[in-house]
Amino acid sequence: MAKYTAPIQSKASQFIDVIVILVLTIVTLYLPSWLKLAGSSVVHKTVDNPTWDSLGQNATMVAKWNQLGYADAASAADTITARFDYSFTAINLIAMIVVIVGYYVIILRYSETEYRDVIAEKFDGKEK
């Protein structure tokens, strides 16, 4: 039986592969922000005439807020009272399930094709 040697990819193809993967990674990471899907559901608790005490801040916290550039409680109130809305709908859940299952099916199909190609190449098209 002949020793298997994998096909050699040129340097240009490797470079293109790296660029494509890098672009896809960056787009994947930043797409939710660009589409305003990440952190867009922030709920602010309204506090009339906020003070550090009404916002639940102690002296150490106030000192840290001052170091961050928030001189008074009113300027920091929105940041302190911000809460994310973690609610979702059944449609969102179903869409996420469809995306994950679809991705899994695509990976299995592609892997099966690649696996069959390697077997055919190694054994000259004779599957055992």
Write out the two tokens for 119. Answer: 């077997």
What count of other Cβ atoms lies within 10 Å of the Cβ of residue 50? 19
Distance CA(125)–CA(119), nearest Å, equals 7
Could you tell me which of 126, 50, 40 has the C-alpha nearest to residue 85? 40
The token pair that represents 14 in the structure block: 């490797």
Structure token digits, residue 78: 């929105």
Give the pTM.
0.43
Question: How do the pLDDT tens digits run along the chain, 128 residues long?
Answer: 567 677 899 999 999 999 999 999 999 988 887 877 765 566 777 888 889 998 899 999 999 999 999 988 888 888 888 877 777 789 989 999 999 999 999 999 989 888 888 888 777 656 55
Annotate 72-85 with b (16+ C-beta within 10 A) or e (fewer).
Answer: ebeebbeebbeeee
